Amino acid sequence: ECHEEKCACHEESCGCNEEDYECKGDCGGHHNENNDKEDAANHEESAFFEIEGMRCNHCRSNLEEALSKIDGVKNVSVSLEEKSAIVLGHFNKQDVIDCIREMGFNLKDSLSE
């Protein structure tokens, strides 16, 4: 760390006095760990699932409703025609897989985008 000390990225002490900053060495600057957390929080995950066993619009809407109740899910789009679901948010992928199976459907394959 480079708090009031010489470090690899400065010829003199940096004087930053911020505990959440750390020296990045050869980068010539500082790295704020809080920014990493904010970037991660703002980056939503998208996952695509191919689903077998949906036969009607009722199946589609029930699955869409169930998936939307999973913690961290922001948006769900289930397509009967394409036999797929796209889930967006900050969620545990295994929770989505478990939900699909608990609803009586099978997964053909799952891919992250």
Confidence of residue 9 (pLDDT cuts 50, 70, 90): very low
Residues 54-98 have pLDDT tens digits of 999 999 999 999 999 999 999 999 999 999 999 999 999 999 999
Q: What is the pLDDT of residue 71?
A: 96
pLDDT given for residue 44 in this prediction: 82
Give residue limits of the domains in the chain: 1-43, 44-112
Confidence band of 42 (pLDDT split at 50, 70, 90):
low
The pLDDT assigned to 3 comes to: 40
Q: Are 67 and 103 in contact (CB under 8 A)?
A: no
What is the third-level CATH fold of 44-112? Alpha-Beta Plaits (3.30.70)
Q: Which of 10-14, 65-69, 90-94, 108-112 has the lowest mean pLDDT?
A: 10-14
Q: Determine the pLDDT at residue 38.
A: 52
Task: Give the span between the Cα atoms of 10 and 2, in whole angstroms.
Answer: 9
d(CA 110, CA 87): 11
Residue 109 pLDDT: 62
Contact status, residue 23 vs residue 15, Cβ threshold 8 Å: no
